[in-house]
Structure 1
C-alpha cells in the first residue's frame, strides 16, 4: 500500500514509455506520474537532475511523517545550514528550520558562479526587505490601519566612508530601501510607518553590527541538530 511515483522521459532510449505506462497502470492508488521532458535515461544533465530532485522532495512530503528536530540551545529558529552544492562553482544549498525550508545561493556567471540563486548580498537585502515589510504589517495590524499592501525594494552598494554621514577613510556598506504603502493612509500614518521601518530587527542589526563567533570542526560532514544541541550544552 505504499505510494508510488513514476518518473519517465519521453525521449528515454533505454526504457520506453510503454514500460513506464505498464508500471503505472498496474499500481494501485496513491500513485503519480511525472514526465521529465527531454532528460536522458540517467538524468546526467544537472538542470534535469535538479528538477527531478525537487519533484521527488515535494511529492514525498505528502506521504512522509517528518518531524522537525529540536533546535540547539540558544537558537530559537534552529540551525541555518549552508552546504556547498557544486565545488566547481559557488552554488550553496541553504537549509533552515530542520530542513523544512530550502533555497540556493550563488554568484552571477560573470563572477564564476552559475546564477542559480541570489548572491549572499542579495539574500542580506532580502532579509532587510522582508523584515521591514513584516514589521510594518505587525504595527499597522495592531493599530488597525487600512494598510492594503507593502512593497520594499532594497539595493546594496559600497561607498567611501567620507560620503557617509559620519566621515572616515574606509569603505562602508550602504543599503537603500524604497517602500511603497498601498491603502487610504493619511500623511501622519505614512510618516509613522516610515519611522517604524527603522525599528525592524534586521535594520537594527545592520546598524549596530554583530559579533560573529567561528568554530572550525574536524568533521567533513556538518553535525546534525541533535549533536549541535549537545555541543551547545
Structure 2
C-alpha cells in the first residue's frame, strides 16, 4: 500500500502531520479517519482500516490532532470544538488536492467529532464510528480525580493509559457543553455504528443512543470481544472488512474500463501480512477474498489456499456451464453441486514423464438434482467437460510475467 507523508494547517495554524494511504490501482474515493482521544494516526485499527479501504480503491487520510503525535501545537490548548475544526481543515486540504472525502470514519472521541463535523463536510456521503461516545463529556471519567485541580489551576497533568497528558480547563468547559443529538438526527448521511459490548471505556449504551438518535439509512454491528482501542489485529481486520463492505453500498466506486482483451478486469493480490502468507485478493473494486496457507505450512489459515482457489474456479465454472446448458434446453435441473479435490499422482500415463514425475489431479464429484432422465444426466456430464476452466487446465495456458516499474521489462515467460 503506497503511503505519502502529508501535512496541513490545523485550526490554529499549527502544522498537522498526516499519512495519506493510497490504492495500488485506480483511486475511486477518499476517506478521512479521526483517531481516539489522545491516540494517534498510527494505531492498529487505523492502519488496518486504511489498508483494507485502499484495497477497495479508497485513499485514506489519517492525521494527528493538534498537540498529538507528530503534529505541532499544545494539546492542553485544544478542545472538542478545535478537534472538529481540525477535521474540517483536513477535509479542506483534501479538497485542495482534488480528493474531497466521501467517507468519514471516527474512533472513540474521534467518532463523536466526526458526527459533529459530518454536516460541515459537504462531500461526505457516509459516516462510520467505532466505540464512539454519545455524550462527548464521557471522556472526562478517565481523569475524574484531576477535575478539581484543572478547574482551580487551569490545567493538570493526568495519566492516560500510561501517557502523561496536560488537560486544560477550556477542554473541560467545552466538552461539557456538547450534545450530539441534533447532529445525529440531522446527519443526512448513511451511518454505521460499531461497538464492543464489553467496552469498559465507552459503554455499549452509547452506541444504542447514537443508533436511536439517527435516521435511516443506519446500521449497527457488534465488535464482540474487542477492547476499546481495537488493539487485536484480528478485531481490527474484522472492523476494516465490515466498513469496506458497508461503504461500498454508499460510495460511487465505479472502476475504470478493464484493459483491452481482459473483460473481467484485473485481479490484484497483495501481501497482507509479511510474517505469514496472508494475501488480500481483489477482483475489481468490490469482490474481496483472503488467500492463505494452513497453519501446518506456516500460514494462519484465514483464507483459501492457492490450490483451493484453483479448485473453486474449476467447480464454479463446471456448475455454471451445466446450468447454462440445462437452462437453454429447458431441462428440469433443480440444483447443481460440484465437490472438487486436488492431489498429485504418479504420471503413469504421461508420455514425456519419468516414473517419478507427478501430475496434478482434480477430482470432480457432480450432483444433479431434479427429475432428469438418464440421457439428460449423461449429456450434462459430457457438457461439464466443456467448462472453459476445465479446458484451460487440460490444454495448458500461456503465462507471461513482467516486472512493474520504470523498466517494465519482461522477466519471465513460460507455458504452464
Same topology, TM > 0.5: yes
CA shift in 2, pair 1:16/1:120, >3 Å: same
Task: Give 1:109's aligned residue.
Answer: 295
Instruction: Measure the CA separation in 2 of the matches of 1:218 and 1:66.
Output: 26
Task: Give 2:363's aligned residue.
Answer: 176
> Which consecutive residues of structure 2, in runs of 5 or more, have no partner in the other structure?
1-187, 407-416
Q: Map of 1:108-187 to 2, 5 A cutoff?
A: 108-162=294-348, 164=349, 166=351, 168-169=353-354, 170-187=357-374
TM-score w.r.t. length of structure 2: 0.49
Task: Give 1:190's aligned residue.
Answer: 377
Task: Give 1:206's aligned residue.
Answer: 393
CA shift in 2, pair 1:73/1:23, >3 Å: same
Tell me if structure 2 keeps the 8 A contact 1:91–1:107.
yes
In proportion to residue count, which structure has more strand? 2
> Which consecutive residues of structure 1, in runs of 5 or more, have no partner in the other structure?
220-233
Query: Matched residue of 2:402: which SS?
Result: coil
Tell me if structure 1 keeps the 8 A contact 2:281–2:290.
yes
Query: Matched residue of 1:94: which SS?
Result: strand
Task: Give 1:14's aligned residue.
Answer: 201
Instruction: Measure the CA separation in 1 of the matches of 2:372 and 2:207.
Output: 58
Deviation at 1:15, TM superposition (A): 2.3
Can you list the C-alpha shifts for 1:4-36, whole angstroms capped at 9, x where unaligned?
222221222332334444544444443333221
Tell me if structure 2 keeps the 8 A contact 1:153–1:179.
yes
Deviation at 1:47, TM superposition (A): 2.3
Query: Are positions 1:60 and 2:254 aligned together?
Result: no
Tell me if structure 2 keeps the 8 A contact 1:68–1:100.
no
CA shift in 2, pair 1:40/1:140, >3 Å: same
CA shift in 2, pair 1:25/1:150, >3 Å: closer
Instruction: Measure the CA separation in 2 of the matches of 1:124 and 1:218.
Output: 28
Query: Matched residue of 2:400: which SS?
Result: coil
Q: Map of 1:40-59 to 2, 5 A cutoff?
A: 40-59=227-246
Q: Map of 1:33-44 to 2, 5 A cutoff?
A: 33-44=220-231
CA shift in 2, pair 1:186/1:86, >3 Å: same
Q: Which moved more, 1:120-129 or 1:50-59?
A: 50-59
Structure with more relative contact order (C-alpha pairs < 8 Å, separation 6 or more): 1
Q: Which of 1 and 2 has greater Rg?
A: 2
The number of residue pairs the alignment matches comes to: 217
Q: Which moved more, 1:184-193 or 1:108-117?
A: 184-193
Give the one of 275, 284, 303 matched to 1:88: 275
TM-score w.r.t. length of structure 1: 0.86
Query: Are positions 1:69 and 2:256 aligned together?
Result: yes
Query: Matched residue of 1:157: which SS?
Result: strand
Tell me if structure 2 keeps the 8 A contact 1:153–1:177.
yes
